[in-house]
Every structure is written in structure tokens, then in C-alpha cells.
Chains A and B, each alone.
Chain A
């Protein structure tokens, strides 16, 4: 394709991407460099059913005036990025000089909100993605071999977890794993421990969330693998059958190499999706023990006070950087493959 044709072909989508993805990112970045203007406080008399007393209140007029002068708020540079709720440079420096062992330092580090959230987010990403790829592949292979009449209903059943809205899916499971729910009491019966509760400890909650993640994401891998399986050339497979290759050998030496690029694609999308994990945390009421980067943004924008736009913007930027770092190896690999094919 000549460059000129390509340009005009790409132009509309490029423009849309710039408007709906590029500009919001730039705007978030600018917002993250600012904090709210100073709040001016005043003492006023306040009366309610419990009596009157003098209390502090925000001086709305004075504060609004400041707000009008600086609609974006006070410029804070990269201050928000470095504060305790984000990268926490000062706290880390202090921990490094004061802690006597690496274990103690790690403890302090993982107690900081951003690193705590990062640990869960990464754990979730790397615990969910590989099983999703493997399971998705196995399910696709199995569905591919069943008779035509059963294929439709089976495919529908398999992709059901993806159809269910994540929040609803996790809420349904949340009640099922309750100590009195069907899964919860079955697990208690299985381990013969009437006090076992999946919601009570951090580790079990993490495992529950990861299992939910696998359950929810496998259909996506299945759909892509299943589509790709339809493109596997039949000639080499027939040749292999004639040569006496077993089913395992055919899959290992013909199907898997053919599906390699597809697997890379699935890993890419899954990592990206799982890095943004949010809904299951809300659905499973797991905010206390499992916080992700997206949850931090959500919490800044939906806490019970003025929305912390600066803080949310900073976390968003850090999330974008995180996704970029995470995807680099996969992207480099894809680029190399692209070069060699040429």
C-alpha cells in the first residue's frame, strides 16, 4: 500500500484515537500536576437538634474566589506523584536507611498504598494470564472435536462467563462462596472445617479473586483460539496422520506452532485487561485486603468528599506507564517476528 493511501485510510481512526484517547490522557496528565486551592476556614455558629455550637466551616466565597483565579488548582509539579499515596519517595528513602534487613524494608514498602496495590495488580495479572491461555486452548481443542449438532449450545455455555457483566458475576459468586452459600458450605464440608471462610483472610480472598479472574477471562482466550483453529491447514495434519502421528504429536508439532502468534495476541490483551482489574474487588467486597491500581483511581473519585482529581490523574499516568512496561517484552517479540517475516 502506498504511504499516501495508507495515510488517508488510517486518518479517520487516527483522528478518533487522538480525540478520545490522546486528549483525555494529556488532560489527566495536566490535572495530575495540580492540587486543590487552599481551603479558607472560618468559625461559624451551627445549630442542629443537639444544640448550638461554634464550628469550623469552609469559607465558600473566599475559597471560590481562589478557585476562579486558578481553575486547575495550585501547580504542584510532580509532587503528587512523589507523595505517600503514590510513589512515596520520602518514605522509601527513610525505610531504606532505617531498616536493618531486606525483609523489614519490603514490609514497609508493601505497606504503602501504591506498592500494596501494585503487588496485588501484578500478582493478579501473572496468576490469571497463563491459566487463561492454557485453559482457553484446551477448551477450544475439545469444543473443536465434538459433533456439529452439539457445538452451538456448548460454545454458548463456554462463553457465558464473558457475557455476564463482571460486577454481577462477581456478586453472584460472592454470595455463593458465603459461609452459608452453596460453594462456601461445600468447601467447609470438603475440608471438614465449619469455620473456614473464603472471605476472612487475605490469602483466601486473593485466591478467590484469581479463580474468578480465570473463570471470567477463559472464554475470551477460547473464542480467539477457536477461531484460529479453523484456519489450521488440513494437509499437514492429514500427512501426519498417514505418518502415524498421535493426536498429541499433531497438536504439539502442527497446531501449536500455527497458533503461536494468536497466543501472543491473547497474552497481550489478557495482561492489559487484568492490569486494570476493578469490578471483582468491588463485587467481592475485597477492598480491605486487595486493592488494585484501578481501585485506587476509583477510590479517589468516589470517596466521601471532594474528588481527588490530581491524585486520580497521577495514578492513571502511573497505570499507563505500568501497562507500557508490562507489554514491552511482548511488543518487542512481535516486532522481531514482523521483521523476520519480511
Chain B
């Protein structure tokens, strides 16, 4: 937590040059093939990677919202389909489980003199990834709508619901709230946020034994249910990008999505009236808890194990060039919170720093977390549709997890 704050506050004080070390950019040998998620900040980052790689480099990038589903299959092949993958604290665990990304210590020693220490993701003493941005989900609101109705900016989910109901009653909007509730990873993530906000723990300490069917789980589900009642009835089909479209169409006054959404919501495209009216607020807490109901994320890159050393070095150099590019960071200060040396945070960084300050937990990077996330993704739908009780849904989640974890050898 502290490290992030220190990085943010002091990052613009020092600007170190490429003291010693080799300059990473201008790659001529080896091919660079990157798999990445699809959102605007990553596009900005990839443009920089491409320009760092230089015109003579063999460069390609695949942006896909299904990147997490593709990564294991694509990197397990030998030689791997991709030489590098943009990872987060959520997706790196899966790759680590199967030894699909390689330690980067030698490459960092050769090229990484411009890296800040908090960019190095160290596991068991070795560097496995280089982080370049921090992200979190938090509240967004339309200032004029809240002002017109005399609603204060909500700081708890109970207030979010009260505000949404007031907007609904005023007739301004039919479905004033939006969150990424698409069945699948997004829905699982909403539960993870809400459950952590209630102070829950996913596993019995130190084991892979799941424990979500408890009072915290039920409370988290009931809160999600109430939020979906003030959301678009199609909520089960809306992912983050769809929610952003709803926002830009002016159908929504409150939403809980990623800080990096600023890159496309606050750009010069789309309805400028809505853009001028868009405000960012800290992530609400829930159920009387102190922690905000959100998780902290870092985004970075890892290099495939099953690729040649030549390709690995080429990919590392190009990605590192972007991950240490102060110019890119300062040219797009609001695209996200860059962890890059010399970056001065823009005015959208507040909610993420606030979440870190108030003790939000990073997304759990446990080897079996993705199995639980998968179980949450499919088993909560019936509850949200009103066909099942919260206890039953959570019992289903646990049972589905146990069956999968047993097959995977965790239990």
C-alpha cells in the first residue's frame, strides 16, 4: 500500500536517465508476439511498445477480452503462440502454476536500469513480471443529475441504492446504476469485490478449502441483487465495455467500473456534455465495513517460458521500453495510474489511491483462486434472476469449486 503511495507522490521528483545499461528500444532480431486484454489504456501502451520496437521489428499484438481464457492454451504450446502476455495480479497466478512465464532477472539486469523497484513483481526472490500500471474499480457519477435531485455523492452501497432509487423515482432514468454483471468473469469479480467489502475470506487460512457460504457471502449476494434491480434488465449480458457504452449514451448516472475506463470515457470522442458531467468518486464501502468494496490490481507483462531466448529478449526490450516511458505516461496522465518513473498523476488517480489508503485488498493471487472465480461466474446467475436462494447459490458455488479443485489436484 505504502509503496504505491510513495511511488505516486514522489515519482515526479526524480527522473533518472538510462544510467549505464543498454537502451531497450530499436529491436532488430527476434519476433515479438503479445497477447493482451482489450481496453483503451492497453492500446495506448501497445502503441508505445510498437514504436519502441521500431520499424524493422517483427511485431504483432492480439487484443482480446478473452485473453485469460486463451493464455494457458496459447502459452503451453512449445513454441508458444505468443512470446509475451500482459498479466495482472489475477492472471499471473494461473501462468505461474504451470510454469508458463520465465524469470526475468538477467534481462532486468541488462536493460532494466530505468525500472522502479515497485515495478518488479518478485516471487520467491525472482522477478517474474514487470508492472506498469495500477488499477481498481470505483464509483463514477453524473454530477448534474445528483445535484438536480440534491443527492450527496454516495460513500456506501446502501447510499448508492438510495440514490439510484431516487433518480428512478424522479423519472430521469429508468435504470440509473450500472456495473459489469455479465455472467462469466465479470459477475464473479463483482462478487469478489462485495464479499471482500463485507470482510469475508474466500478460503480457510492456509488451505484450498473454500468457505463462502456464510453470512458475509449472503449479505454480498443480497447487495448485488439490489444493485441489479436498479440496473438495466440486460445486466447479465453487459461487460465493462458495454457499461461504458451505456454511460456514454447517457442512460446511467452511477456506475462502478475500472479507473482505466477514464481513457475512453474522458477522451474527445462521444457526447462532450456527458464527459463534462462525469465525476470519479472513491469506491463505496458496504454493510458498515470500513474497507471499500473493491480490489487493487496491477497490470504488467510476463515473458513466455516456451519461446526462444532471442524472442524473449526482443519482447522484453520492446515492452520494457514502454513500461519505462515517462513521455507516454505524462502524455496520457488520465489513462490510468502509471507506475512509471517520472510520472505525475492526473486528476483521475484519486479513487485508486483512496482505495489503497482505506485498506482495500489486492485481488487474491492464490493458485486456486481462479477455480473459485470460475465457479462464481456460472453459479450466481440463478440467484440474481430470483430462481434460487442466496444460501443455495453459495452452496452450489462451493460444490462446483470442490469438484473442479479435486480434479485439478488441489484438494
What is the CA–CA distance of A74 and B410 in the complex, to the nearest angstrom? Answer: 13
B53-61, B66-74, B151-159, B314-322 - interface stretch: B66-74
CB atoms of B94 and A306 under 8 A apart:
yes
Contact string against A for B residues 370-411, beta-carbon threshold 8 Å, 1 for contact and 0 otherwise: 110110001001100101100010001001101110111110
Q: Which residues does chain B contribute within 8 Å of A178, judged by CB atoms? A: 234
Q: How far is the CB of B170 from chain A (nearest CB, A)?
A: 17
Contact A55-B365, Cβ < 8 Å, known A199-B236, A200-B233: yes
Find chain A residues with CB under 8 A from B388 CB.
111
Which one of A44-52, A154-162, A214-222 contacts B? A44-52
Q: Is A113 an interface residue (CB 8 A)?
A: yes
Let me know if A308 is at the binding interface, CB within 8 A: yes
Tell me the smallest distance from the CB of B125 to a CB of chain A, in Å: 7
Known: A49-B119, A80-B407, A308-B408. A58 touches B96 (CB 8 A): yes
B183 contact from A83, A287, A311, Cβ within 8 A: A287
Q: Tell me if B72 and A45 are in contact (CB < 8 A).
A: no
A182 to chain B, nearest CB (A): 16
For residues 114 through 168 of chain B, which have their beta carbon under 8 Å from a beta carbon of chain A? 118-125, 131, 134
Residue numbers in A under 8 Å from B371 (CB-CB): 305
Name the contact of B122 in the complex, choosing from A46, A91, A113, A195 (C-beta under 8 A): A46
> How far in angstroms is the closest Cβ of chain B from A316?
15
In whole angstroms, how far apart are the Cα atoms of A36 and B174 in the complex? Answer: 49
- What is the distance, in angstroms, from A27's C-beta to the closest C-beta of chain B? 17
Pick the contact of A179 from B73, B91, B234 — CB < 8 Å?
A: B234
CB neighbours (8 Å) of B125 from chain A are: 45
Query: Which residues from chain B contact A111 at a C-beta distance below 8 Å?
Result: 382, 388, 392, 396
Known: A49-B339, A199-B237, A200-B233. A304 touches B69 (CB 8 A): yes
**Chain B residues near A55 (CB, 8 Å)?**
365-366
Residue of B nearest to A302 (CB): B69
Known interface pairs A48-B131, A48-B298, A305-B94; A37-B366 also in contact (CB < 8 Å): no
Cβ-based interface call for B184 (8 A): yes
Say if the beta carbon of B78 comes within 8 Å of chain A. Answer: no
- A64 interface residue per 8 A CB criterion: yes
Q: A50-B4, A305-B371 are in contact. Are A56 and B123 (CB under 8 A)?
A: no
Shortest Cβ distance from residue B35 to the other chain A in the assembled complex, whole angstroms: 14
Write out the residue numbers on chain A whose beta carbons fall within 8 Å of the beta carbon of B402: 84
In the bound complex, CA of A194 to CA of B232 (Å): 12
Cβ of A57 under 8 Å from chain B: yes
Contacts of B407 in A (CB 8 A): 35-36, 76, 80, 83, 308, 310-311
Q: Answer yes or no: B38 CB below 8 A from chain A CBs.
A: no
A-B contacts counted at CB < 8 A amount to 174
Asked whether B367 is an interface residue with its Cβ less than 8 Å from the other chain, the reply is yes
**B220 at interface by CB-CB < 8 Å:** no
User: Does B296 sit within 8 A of A, measured CB to CB?
Assistant: yes
Q: Flag if B367 contacts A56 (CB, 8 Å).
A: yes
Tell me, rounded to whole Å, the shortest Cβ–Cβ distance linking A188 to chain B: 12
Q: Is B9 an interface residue (CB 8 A)?
A: no
Which residues does chain B contribute within 8 Å of A179, judged by CB atoms? Answer: 232-234
Chain A nearest CB from B275 CB (Å) reads 21
User: Known contacts A48-B362, A49-B4, A58-B96: does B408 contact A83 (CB below 8 Å)?
Assistant: no
Would you give the shortest CB distance from A69 to chain B, in whole angstroms? Answer: 13
A227 within 8 A of partner (CB): no
User: Of B3, B68, B123, which contacts A57 at CB under 8 A?
Assistant: B123
Chain B neighbourhood of A52, CB < 8 A: 122
* Nearest B residue (CB) for A41: B367
Taking CB atoms, residues of chain A closer than 8 Å to B256 are none
Residues of A with C-beta under 8 A to B400 = 84-85, 113
The answer to whether B94 touches A304 (Cβ under 8 A) is yes
Give chain A interface residues in 64-80, CB to chain B under 8 Å: 64, 73-74, 76, 80
| Structural contact, A57 and B124, CB atoms closer than 8 A | yes
Cβ contact within 8 Å between A49 and B298: yes
* A308 proximity list for chain B (CB < 8 A): 404, 407-408
- Residues of the A chain whose Cβ atoms lie less than 8 Å from the Cβ of B4: 49-50
Chain A positions 266-316 with a Cβ under 8 Å from a chain B Cβ: 284-285, 287-289, 291, 299, 301-308, 310-311
Closest B residue to A200 by beta carbon equals: B233
State how many angstroms separate the Cβ of B70 from the closest Cβ of chain A. 8
Q: Which residue of A lies closest to B366 (CB)?
A: A56
- Can you list 17 A-B pairs, Cβ within 8 angstroms, ordered by A? A37-B409, A47-B121, A48-B118, A48-B122, A57-B124, A60-B99, A74-B409, A179-B234, A195-B233, A285-B182, A288-B183, A302-B69, A303-B69, A303-B370, A305-B408, A306-B408, A308-B407
